[in-house]
Structure 1
């Protein structure tokens, strides 16, 4: 789909497109979504005070998304596959900031060292390298430094003909908020609505010791998507508030 056509499809968005030119293009392909309902007090340990945890019917959620990043490039340059194509896993939760709903990454792993270095340098997102192997209906990642491991064997099922409110709440997010030592960075994105499919797991092994009270090998909900083409705007930086202000915010 041409980028002009993507930018015309906005009826599914919760707010209007950002002003100004987008800065990056990328594709998030063949995505496996695992979702867990979690204890909000446990989740608060991992989310900066400046961000408000977003809830669905009073419940907090964390998701793991394992996919393949492809064709990432700046607006006026071509993609370069040794850097722009790599497997990625992110663990995210759902937050509010600046009157917008979005996601906050607890963890981001990339399967190519140089891609992680470039992405971390440009975006300030907390990318780290893991050994990732992907085959048809199989996804495996290991990180010895963090003692993290993910192994999924699955079969993709039929399309989800009618998404629930929770399906959309978990997948249709058009902003990302991430913290640095001094700021909260806001990234706005746009894509068409995720095409989603049912997924059946032959086996799931999820071991992230840091998040052992949030994640298990039995998610509450799961999805598969063939992917979306994404445009992203440059980050906006907001100075962090003092802890007392953050609570009020």
Structure 2
């Protein structure tokens, strides 16, 4: 049975270039950094979980909620082909039960914070706002987009960011959890402007403090869709090789 069914909606993705050496200790065994045009990316992502079911069950008060995460992009070679996936540095949600389940079963890095969001429809644009509170201070992601949706072009940066269909979690130096994420190809809304107010060191630690004064390479708004997250698979590497951090 599928572990999670949900609608992932209105994904705000703020994308940065980062030194891949900073990600070395987070890289799961059996994976490599997935570069795009020679660049190593990390993304801050805010979005909505809607109509959420765990093992086919809707749990009261845990059906619709926000998530904000910091992630980077990897690939894993298996059966003659590359699987493209993401690794999460941290995932923030407003529900303690979600944090407990994800951290216990999937060994993810969830944290529970007070969160809120709003969507404001204007005449020609839409405003998407996600906020979460850490140490008494609100962090904010805000995008204003035009209303007409667009296809995500093949071989584009937007395709690279949105078309990763596996999640990988580092359990230890020799064990990796893999789970498949299934959804149709997404559409995007053109971003008119954005605002980001995030304390990167407080949220993600000193490794990512450098992003505080780094200009994003791009900002995207993906409309999202129905999404399935399958049960995890455990992969063990008794002689895990040194991770490849270069093209």
Q: Same fold, TM exceeding 0.5?
A: yes
Aligned partners of 1:141, 1:25: CA distance in 2, in Å? 24
The 3 A distance-change label for structure 1 pair 133 and 74 is closer
Q: Say if 2:141 is the partner of 1:152.
A: yes
Q: Say if 2:219 is the partner of 1:230.
A: no
Structure 2 segments unaligned to the other structure (5+ residues): 120-127
The 3 A distance-change label for structure 1 pair 150 and 240 is farther
The match for 1:62 among 16, 25, 42 is 42
Aligned partners of 2:167, 2:117: CA distance in 1, in Å? 26
Q: Is the 8 A contact 1:109 1:130 kept in 2?
A: yes
| 1:84-163 alignment, distance < 5 Å | 84-98=63-77, 99-136=82-119, 137-144=128-135, 150-157=139-146, 158-161=148-151, 163=153
| 1:185-224 alignment, distance < 5 Å | 185-209=177-201, 210=205, 211-214=208-211, 216=213, 218-224=215-221
Q: Report the 3-state secondary structure (helix = DSSP H, G, I; strand = E; otherwise coil) of the residue aligned with 1:121.
A: helix
The match for 2:156 among 165, 171, 187 is 165
The 3 A distance-change label for structure 1 pair 40 and 149 is farther
Kindly report the root-mean-square deviation, in angstroms, between the aligned alpha carbons of the 2 structures: 2.5
Q: Is the 8 A contact 1:148 1:208 kept in 2?
A: no
More strand by share: 2
Question: How does the TM-score come out when normalised to structure 2?
Answer: 0.80
Aligned partners of 2:9, 2:161: CA distance in 1, in Å? 17
Tell me by how many angstroms 1:200 deviates. 2.9
Q: Provide the aligned length of Structure 1 versus Structure 2.
A: 225
Structure 1 segments unaligned to the other structure (5+ residues): 1-20
